[in-house]
Structure 1
Amino acid sequence: MSPARPSEVPTHDPQTRARLGWTLLALLLAWPVLRLAEFQPAALFAPGNLSVIGGFLAGFLPPETAPAFLALLGRATLETLAMATAGTALAFLIAVPLAFAGTRALSVSRIGPGPGRGIGAVVRPSARLVLMVLRAIPEIVWALLFVRALGLGPAAGVLALAITYGGMLGKVYAEILESTDTRPARALLEGGSGRIAALCYGLLPNTAQELASYTVYRWECAVRASVVMGFVGAGGLGQLMDQSMKMLNGGEASSILLVFLALVLLADALSNALRRLLA
């Protein structure tokens, strides 16, 4: 085939009109949604609002560095890390068996007729239904419930994170396992291998990096959620932040936010290290 002559080479993107049309359609759909949400960014730049925002931000400087407060901050940070780590670990224990049961790529009954076909048709939808129920209720609602049952403290936050994040982790684990090349796992199942062996040798080699990265990301989200749940009595940095904000102590709030930023940077570094380790 002869190469295209310069006159035959298109001078513009043939998909320009289609992309422009979809963009305009998206804007038309977004406009009533923004109006319904009362989204008015211009109100932020009104003279009165700017002065209020400026005065509020000025109160955050300088950060509080008193030894007594730093001791409280260190204890609250450890409490938040413990809450997020324990909650994520329990969520992992909930998510793994449910994701294993709900992953279609590990279904023995799908490779052909057999006695387990009816059981598989019930177990997989049931596992996915349980995952949906777990992640449907926000962790802050569970935290309010467990604070009433267990009292103030991080135990309520741990259980709240375990339930909600168990549903989130299980759903994404199953989707990651199904989105990779499932032919090795299918070949192992057709050869008589068990489902655990098919998971370990057929699916995990191609998905370990993504699974580890998502798990660390969820741990990072758990740190943030732990801070939010502290406002309802679950302890940690959130409870300390709530006390500082109620006392209008911007310096203490600023120090807490800096520690929170350091925790997010730590989670990002941990994720990168795990991806390099599993590469």
Structure 2
Amino acid sequence: MNADRDTLASAARDPDTRPRLGWTLLALVLLWPLLLLAEFRPWALFEANNLQVMGAFLAGFLPPATSTEFLGLLLKATLETLAIATAGIALALLIAIPLAILCTRALAVSLLGPGPGRLGGSVLRTAGHALLTFLRAIPEIVWALMLVRVFGLGPAAGVLALAVTYGGMLGKVYTEILESTDTRPTRALLAAGAGRCAALTYGLLPNAAQELTSYTVYRWECAVRASVIMGFVGAGGLGQLMDQSMKMLNGGEAATILLVFLLLVVLADELSATLRRALA
């Protein structure tokens, strides 16, 4: 009886328990000096003086501003933010889609068999990956700082800054999503003489469309949030209005702007869910 019980206990025991525990302990050992280097001290949040300072700061955000004049400015800035984010993502797609098609190995005709084009195709894919790395390595705030000096204060600098940085991010993730799906239909289409666009449309997109759409909407949401940071350097939108409110120590206006950002995030979540259901 005891032997049967021991056998059942041994069978129920997860054989990966010890390796997982070992990797967890190793991660903690490596993480601790990094936390010390970053001066990570969350317990400071609960010190009496700090709680008092944070409470006073948050109290300045109440009540939210609701004056007609400010709400008019807020509506204009919200529409400008949505225009910046949407136009920036649209231009980013013009960068990301061609580079993703170029960098996706499953769409490489030269890899179907031996031939003179293999080296050239490899060079082009490497160059495409390098360009995507360069585009996403430079934060959008840096592009915005440079482009504001070219276009002046306003949304044009924000649109182009988002397009460049997010073009690199979207292209990188699109490539990974396309390469992580089942590539056998795509290879069969290419081997039968189909072009890259046909292989992409009928071989990869049916399985990857939901994930691609979800990530694109998420990046649009990130673009809306990024407009706050770029607004501080004069790139327009809600960020610039937030900068003005904070400089004037008007917490009520800042609270209303934050509520609008919350609504925009909810809108992005609903849009993503709707598109995913439509593509299911």
TM-score by length of 1: 0.96
Aligned pairs for 1:201-216 within 5 A: 201-216=202-217
Distance 2:269 2:221 in 1: 8
Match of 2:193, SS state, is: coil
TM-aligned CA deviation for residue 227 of structure 1? 1.4
Q: Distance in 2 between matches of 1:32 and 1:98?
A: 39
Task: Return 5+ residue gaps in structure 1 as ranges.
Answer: none
* Corresponding residue number in structure 2 for 1:271: 272
Aligned-residue offset at 1:202: 0.6
Q: Deviations over 1:183-213 (max 9, x none)?
A: 0000011111111111111111111111111
Instruction: Please give the secondary structure, in 2, of the residue aligned with 1:62.
Output: coil
Question: Aligned residue for 1:126?
Answer: 127
Instruction: Report the alpha carbon displacement of residue 18 of structure 1 after superposing the two structures with TM.
Output: 2.4
Match for residue 259 of structure 2? Answer: 258
Q: How does 1:104-253 map to 2 (within 5 A)?
A: 104-253=105-254
Matched AA of 1:127: G
* Cα pair distance change 1:248/1:177, threshold 3 Å: same
Q: Which runs of 5+ in 2 are unaligned?
A: none
CA distance in 1, matches of 2:81, 2:213: 21
Give distance in 1, aligned partners of 2:187 and 2:246: 56
In structure 2, distance between residues paired with 1:203 and 1:14: 36
Structure 1 residue 5: deviation in Å?
5.2
User: Is 1:8 paired with 2:7?
Assistant: yes
1:79 aligns with 2:58: no
Identity of aligned residues (%): 73
Distance (Å, rounded) in 2 between the aligned partners of 1:5 and 1:205: 50
Name the count of aligned residue pairs. 276
* In 2, Cα distance between equivalents of 1:23 and 1:257: 37
Residue 7 (structure 1) shift: 4.1
1:25 is matched with 26
Partner residue in 1 for 2:66: 65
Structure 1 counterpart of 2:65, one-letter code: E
**In structure 2, distance between residues paired with 1:104 and 1:17:** 37
- The code of the aligned residue for 1:84 comes to A
